[in-house]
Chain A
Amino acid sequence: MSSPEAASLVRRRSTILARFGHEVNWGDFVFRRATAFVALFVIVALLAMALAMGRSSQVSLAKFGLGFVFSRDWDPVHESYGALPFIYGTVVSSLLALALAVPISLGVAIFLSELAPKWLRGPVAFTVELLAAVPSVVYGLWGIFALAPWLRDTVEPLLAKFFGFLPLFQGPTRGYGMLAGGIVLAIMITPTISSVSREVLRAVPGALREGALGLGATPWEAVRFAVLPYARSGLVGATVLGLGRALGETMAITMVIGNRTEISTSLFAPSYTMASVIANEFTEATGQLYLSSLAEIGLLLFLVTVLLNVVARLLVWRVGRLPEGGRL
């Protein structure tokens, strides 16, 4: 067996190495800098994204300014563009989705982390996670052929019959519309909110729970009075994350929301979201102003979701950590 070059321990440190870093050998020097360069790439990618969107929207930003956000016009023929119908559609459908998804997600999260027997936890958790695995476009397909007809034939007539005095439930029941969009979004954001909530609940120190139980509280009371107050900001964060996800969702909602630039108070009426108009019209857009307006809508969407994401993570971070892997 040949022995390593044991003769000399000394390796004259190259002057380059000595000047630029602490490393003693080239391998470590290159390794650190090469991986740092790639890591830098992550930052560059994000900045490039923001910049590219800004640049693409320049024309319409210059032409319409702030009025873009408040204008209801969307008229390619007369070159007048305003984002209000889409902002309305996006916000309302997302809020509706939250209203439906938050109680269910929290219920699931509490069920899984506090109330469920051990043997049930695995399968139920797995099923909820599987909800997240189904691609958006498949939900859209199901929405078109399963959900919308069901809404049109069963649910919406019922709602109109009993609650028709509310402006929310008036108008023709086509199946496609805000309600369908809200429901589909709710299904899609449930796994997000529930998994983050579960992590938050798990991060609550067990001592709090046990203390309450030791005082004679029922399991629900222990959750309500000991766990939830502690986890509150984290749960709000989970909700905000779900909101961010709902705002950015594209395919499923495009397929069921009707895609009409109307602003109506009824949930039965069709609507149009920011992501949907981009998806539908981007490749057909003629003219720079048209394209730029669509890009500006994208920019708005980008900024809002980034902001919500940051706020959400700050809130969650105060209580626990997010599930590994990032994309929620």
Chain B
Amino acid sequence: MLDAYRRRKVTDLLVRGACVLAAVMAVIPLGSVLFYVAERGISGLNWAFLSELPKPVGETGGGMANAIVGTLKLVGLACVFGIPPGVLAGVYLAEFGHSRFGGVVRFCADVMSGVPSITVGIFVYSLIVLTTKHFSAWAGGVALAVLMLPTVTRTTEELLKLVPESLREAALGLGVPKWRATLRVMLRTAAPGIATGVMLAVARVAGETAPLLFTAFNNRFWSSGVDEPTASLPVNIYTYAVSPYEDWHAQAWAAALVLLIMVLLLNISARLLVRNRVGAR
């Protein structure tokens, strides 16, 4: 009896240890990645990198100014194309979505969120690039927007449903028509939470490479407007990393550092937003 009990205790401890080990093993790669990016990225990060255009192939020096701007441009376009439809679709699902149509919409949104990003690239390529016969920033923006759409929709729906019905009743009791009550009271109350979800979606999309490969493509110069092929940090990281040039490798690390800082800032501030809200009430 005592023996069996001790055996069970030991098993328990072993399993606990294994779980702790698992947690450690999950965290180590993150530490390694962050360390490498920080170390190698900082050495490659200089004013030239941030302000200059890439030099011709083979020459050292130059920078990725156009890629940094390009990423901001593409993310901005993604927001323009992805957030309004996402929020409106989410509003529909929250208010009127208890029908079969609503169920189908939800199902499609969930399925879309699992589609590989490269297939979204092929889709937008055949839809836009083939018809306009050139790569463009807005094609890239559309591809990223398609990736954002399901997340924004579901986030809006979930958060809207969390707003207490008593607020809607208060608005209706004041003689406000239903649609205005939804938009100006319910949606407004849910807005901080939705903003958080959107920021997280934007952070994910900012780092996407595959869909941009055949939509925004790349550009060694400045791209004006939204109708030209556009450089972006992720695509540049890829291109430079697989190239044979040492100098380009260093720039890839610097680009990774910039990208990582952007993404982490978005992520952390989104989570702080949530924590602050919960604390303040």
Contact = CB atoms under 8 A, between A and B. Distances in A.
A touches B in complex, CB < 8 A? yes
A245 B115 CA distance: 8
A82 to B, nearest CB: 19
Contact of A140 (B91, B214, B238): B238
B226 interface: no
B19 A111 contact: yes
Given A104-B25, A138-B207, A255-B238, A327 B113 contact: yes
For this complex, into which size category does the number of interface residues on chain A fall? 35 or more
Contacts of A298: 118-119, 122
B88 interface: yes
B182 A135 contact: no
B209 A251 contact: yes
A326 B92 CA distance: 17
B110 A52 contact: no
Interface stretch (A31-39, A60-68, A70-78, A152-160): A31-39
B209 A142 contact: no
B116 A52 contact: no
A251 B259 contact: no
A326 B104 contact: no
B89 A39 contact: yes
A52 B126 contact: yes
B10 to A, nearest CB: 10
Interface in B203-259: 203-204, 206-210, 213-214, 217, 234, 237-238, 241-242, 249, 252-253, 256, 259
Nearest to B91: A35
A55 B252 CA distance: 37
Contacts of A137: 207, 209, 234, 237-238, 241, 256
Give the most central of B12, B40, B119, B150: most A CB within 10 Å. Answer: B119
Interface in B136-167: 146-147, 149-151, 153-155, 158
Q: What does DSSP make chain A's interface, helix, strand, loop or mixed?
A: helix
Q: What does DSSP make chain B's interface, helix, strand, loop or mixed?
A: helix
Interface in A314-328: 324-328
Contacts of B114: 241, 244-245, 248, 305-306, 308-309, 327-328
B26 interface: yes
B53 interface: no
A42 B210 contact: no
Given A104-B26, A128-B26, A327 B151 contact: yes
A134 B260 contact: yes
B191 interface: no
A13 to B, nearest CB: 14
A57 to B, nearest CB: 10
Interface in A271-301: 275, 278-279, 282-283, 295, 298-299, 301
B12 A32 contact: no
Contacts of A134: 30, 33, 207, 260, 263
Given A138-B259, A326-B151, A127 B89 contact: no
A171 to B, nearest CB: 23
Interface string A34-59: 11101111110110110011011000
B22 A325 contact: no
B241 A107 contact: no
B210 A36 contact: no
Contact of B154 (A127, A133, A279, A324): A324
Interface of B: 8-9, 11-12, 15-16, 18-23, 25-27, 29-30, 32-33, 36-37, 40, 85, 88-89, 91-93, 95-97, 101-102, 104-105, 108-120, 122-123, 125-127, 146-147, 149-151, 153-155, 158, 175, 177-180, 182-183, 197, 200-201, 203-204, 206-210, 213-214, 217, 234, 237-238, 241-242, 249, 252-253, 256, 259-260, 263-264, 267, 271
19 contacts: A27-B177, A34-B88, A38-B85, A42-B109, A42-B112, A111-B23, A126-B271, A134-B30, A135-B259, A142-B37, A194-B26, A219-B16, A220-B12, A249-B116, A310-B111, A324-B158, A325-B151, A327-B204, A328-B114
